[in-house]
Amino acid sequence: MSFDPHPGSDDSELERALRSMFGDQTDMILEQLRAAGFDPEQLAAGMGDLNPQMMQAAMRQFQEFFDTDSDEAVNTSISHDIARQVTAAAGADPVVSDLERKSVADAYRVAELWLDVATDFAPVDKPVRAWSRAEWVEATIGTWNALTEPVAQAVVDALVELLSEELGHEGALSMEMIEPAQFSLPEGLSVDDLLGGAGQDGVTRFSADDMLRRIGAAVFGMQVGQATGELASEVFGTTDVGVPLLDSDGAALVARNVRAFAEGLDIEERDVLQFLALREAAAVRLFTAVPWLRAHVLGLIDDYARGVRIDTDALEEKLRDIDPMNTDQLRHALSQGVFSVTSTPEQQATLQRLETALALIEGWVDAVSFDASRAHLTTVVPLREMMRRRRAAGGPAEQTFATLVGLELRPRRAREATALWELLQLRVGTEERDKVWAHPDLLPSGADLDNAEGFVARWQNGRESTDDVDAALNAIFDAAETDDSDD
């Protein structure tokens, strides 16, 4: 059976078939197929003589778009595929060699030895991993999807509200809107089969709201994938962006990124690897020894993101001159930011707590890794300053997430936090310093970063008061035991 209703056309056979069925909606459908990583031309290439089984296989991926859960604010399949594509496009990403794995493992083992005298937190009894950029994407994309979901949901809801009327027909697209087919489908296969069945009146419909939500989820999936793919070329491990990306213990370094960073410095690559392994090991010890910390940080991000107000006027202005069914145009519009510049007092308080938490984490890692290495690593001072400058400068991926989530993931006040941790260690020692992480309520506040002396004095006085109470209670118990023995 022939599948070529328009011989001589430049369009692929599959595209001509879709146009004959869906008319003006075809470009949107093709765009969604491509965004999801499917190539319509390749799908059509092997069709040849069209039989029902071949047609069903060729159209299955097309139907998956309509079968996607419309409640999903971020299309995680698209974010994964785009992240991998961006990573591949950034250049060669070879499999990590055995020599690289050994170098990373050796550096991490040395780092753990140095840290034993710089922190009271115990090492993590899991091997360090040396990853390619693609492996980093696979391990962390789930966290990025979760971080973006609350804002994505708010934007998608706003999109549906603004655009649903444009799809008309009382909020539904129906097969009655599609031009009559100009070709014959194989026996036993109908247009209804392609879209999952007809309604009670015999007409296949799908909700315009559902379509918009799927498009919005696809757009955010592309945005998250783009940012994650770009970030994969910048990060050194699993903790250096300020957010704990793994939900399990363990450490990893992206071997190629470490090497690329070293190439731009007048420092031996071995020293660079050792310094970065030390920072990764310190952060992993912190998040492992303080089990509530990861949930605390992610909870603050989630609280902030769920409170973001979408500026519907700005969104409407951005959408005014674009085709809402064109995901590329929609993605570009959303990348310009749609968040209200005003925020509630609760939002401001959450943001300050988040920025302080990120600064305290980075400051502790900075202080501890410097203390652990200064007797062993002669290049630690320039390496430390280079990391501070790199953090302050930021990067394109971090800027993208500032647009997506409405906040910057870089700690703004890491230097002040480092100074506080160093002063605390000087006054009360390593063990007492690390006890500050025992509970969220004990952590320094943003005001404490402005007055480290005051926080350290309060901590010292508090510990002394606790010691006095303990001593008094012990004396009472000892006296009671003496009285009992006399009786």
Q: pLDDT tens, 233-266?
A: 999 999 988 787 887 778 999 999 999 999 989 9
Q: Are 409 and 358 in contact (CB under 8 A)?
A: yes
Across 175-283, the runs of DSSP E, i.e. the strands, are 205-207, 252-254
Q: pLDDT tens, 70-95?
A: 678 888 888 898 899 899 998 889 99
Q: Are 155 and 310 in contact (CB under 8 A)?
A: yes
Indicate if the pLDDT at residue 279 is higher than 80.
yes
CA–CA dist 391, 370 (Å, integer): 16
Indicate if the pLDDT at residue 175 is higher than 60.
no
CA–CA dist 470, 458 (Å, integer): 18
**Among residues 82, 404, 362, 415, which one has the least CA distance to residue 241?**
362
User: What pLDDT is attached to residue 437?
Assistant: 97
Q: What is the mean pLDDT of residues 49-69?
A: 47
CA–CA dist 137, 132 (Å, integer): 9
To the nearest 10°, the Cα dihedral for 141, 147, 153, 159? -80
* CA 245 from centroid of its chain's CA atoms: 7
Q: Are 59 and 53 in contact (CB under 8 A)?
A: no
CA distances (Å), 260 to each of 230, 255, 304, 334, 378, in order? 15, 9, 35, 32, 21
Q: What is the mean pLDDT of residues 32-47?
A: 53
CA–CA dist 330, 478 (Å, integer): 75
Q: pLDDT tens, 215-236?
A: 778 888 888 898 899 899 999 9
Q: What share of the chain is helix, strand, coil (3-state, %, to 5)?
A: 65, 5, 30
Q: Are 245 and 142 in contact (CB under 8 A)?
A: no
- Sign of the alpha-carbon dihedral angle for 212, 215, 219, 221: positive
CA–CA dist 215, 159 (Å, integer): 10
Q: Are 162 and 315 in contact (CB under 8 A)?
A: yes
- Phi and psi angles of residue 339, each rounded to the nearest 5 degrees, phi first: -95, 140
**171-185, 205-219, 256-270: segment of lowest average pLDDT:** 171-185
User: What pLDDT is attached to residue 427?
Assistant: 96
CA–CA dist 197, 93 (Å, integer): 44
Indicate if the pLDDT at residue 2 is higher than 60.
no
User: What pLDDT is attached to residue 57?
Assistant: 39
Q: What is the mean pLDDT of residues 352-372?
A: 95
Q: What is the mean pLDDT of residues 131-149?
A: 93
Percent of the chain predicted with pLDDT > 90? 38
**Among residues 145, 395, 106, which one has the least CA distance to residue 247?**
145
The position carrying tokens 């390593």 is 430
To the nearest 10°, the Cα dihedral for 28, 30, 36, 42? 180
pLDDT-derived band at 148, boundaries 50, 70, 90: confident
Across 338-426, the runs of DSSP E, i.e. the strands, are none
